[in-house]
Amino acid sequence: MGTTLRPVVAVTTTTRIDNRYTDPPCDLHTLMDTYTLALDQAGAAPMLVGRMRPEDASLIMDRVDGLVVSGGRDVAPVLYGQDNTASMESHPGDDGRDIALILEARRRKMPVLGICRGIQAVNVALGGELHQHVLSDSDAEHPPAPEDTMDLGLHRHTVELAADCRLAAIYGAAERKVNSIHHQAISRPAAGLTVTGRTPSGSIEAVESADPDWPLLAVQWHPEMLDFEEESALFTAFVDDVRHYRAGRGGADGI
């Protein structure tokens, strides 16, 4: 029976304001269902995490086997020691939650998958810095955002993976064609992270933990918005890490 059970993965949400029904407006905890569908297909049971006290990170992590840090707003520049020069709207609750969960995952050596804002939050949580705006007419991989969001979602560029990195082994390829739905990127990688993916122009698109005992993968693109058959290897590898972590701490296979 144990082999049929599913490990539980915490997935962060994005806080957005809803002023349709309440005065003052209330907050919504939002997440595209592409995240939960990808995790479900890979064999995990997702559990969404909305507002929480950072000091409760340990309580949350006691109940899950892995962490996905999803996309969302910009991380507040003050958290990596910069003035706001080009960052857009941030949310202190989302920032505090994500950083607390990432640091607790590191303490426990719990598997982490960072996606888009997730790679940026991981880098900031561990002491790194960000470029606040990378879109430019001179950068073919990161051109200015089009007005039509559908065109933005269709844009693709190349990511070159380091030959000996785990992502290259997972994908079985030295490069990927990925989407580009972001305007920020890692500038100074945090200590403890290894850069394993870049665009041809050098922009950082993937990092992994330098600690072999902490399975962390983080990518700047949105794999959950690409074809699942093409990206299933990433989610499957992450869920395999989650199962191994759960087994290592003596838990059942899942719920």
DSSP three-state, residue 182:
coil
Helices and strands: H and E segment counts in the chain: 7, 13
Residue 81 backbone class (left: φ over 0; alpha: ψ -120 to 50; beta: rest):
left
Q: Which of 116, 141, 165, 208 is the catalytic position? A: 116
Q: Which of 129, 142, 222, 231 is the catalytic position? A: 222
Establish whether 205 is a catalytic residue.
no
Instruction: Kindly give, in sequence order, each residue whose CB lies less than 8 Å from that of residue 233, ignoring residues fewer than 6 positions away.
Output: 170, 171, 172
Q: Show the tokens assigned to 31.
A: 């997440």
Q: What is the DSSP secondary-structure string of 60-123? A: HHTT-SEEEE---SPPPGGGGT---SS-----HHHHHHHHHHHHHHHHHT--EEEETHHHHHHH
Establish whether 222 is a catalytic residue.
yes
How many CB atoms are located within 10 Å of the residue 234 CB?
Answer: 22
CA neighbor of 220 nearest in space, from 132, 140, 121, 147: 121
Establish whether 89 is a catalytic residue.
no
Which residues are part of the catalytic machinery? Answer: 116, 222, 224
